[in-house]
């Protein structure tokens, strides 16, 4: 995501809340864990997109990183969590 690329990931752990498959902020595809056919299909889907569509998905990935995962954002959320505790 930080490299402005579309993402293909397993729908496991903390990944599903970071990958959007539809909408203006779509940035990749999620696959069921352990499903190699779904993984191949997701990669093929992204490869079949136009360069402009892939660039838009990559830009959405980068925007998500800049919005939610910069050190200032992480520190702010951590300080909020400490205050709640």
Phi then psi dihedrals of residue 3, to 5 deg: -95, 15
CB atoms within 10 A of CB 29: 22
pLDDT tens, position by position, 33-42 = 999 999 999 9
pLDDT tens, position by position, 8-53 = 999 999 999 999 999 999 999 999 999 999 999 999 999 999 999 9
Q: pTM to 2 decimals?
A: 0.83
Going from N- to C-terminal start, the domains of the chain cover: 7-84
Q: Give the mean pLDDT of 70-82.
A: 93
Note the pLDDT of residue 56: 97
Secondary structure letter of residue 9 according to DSSP? E
Query: In the block, which residue shows the tokens 């992204």?
Result: 46
What is the C-alpha separation between 82 and 50, in angstroms, rounded? Answer: 45
Alpha helices in the chain, H assignment, sequence order: 36-48, 51-68, 71-84
């Amino acid at each position: 995501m930080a490299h402005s690329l579309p993402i293909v990931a397993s729908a496991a752990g903390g990944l599903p809340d970071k990958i959007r498959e539809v909408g203006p902020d779509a940035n990749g595809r999620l696959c069921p864990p352990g499903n190699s056919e779904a993984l191949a299909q997701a990669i093929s889907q992204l490869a079949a997109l136009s360069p402009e569509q892939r660039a838009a998905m990559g830009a959405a990935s980068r925007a998500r990183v800049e919005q939610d995962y910069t050190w200032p954002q992480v520190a702010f959320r951590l300080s909020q969590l400490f205050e709640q505790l």
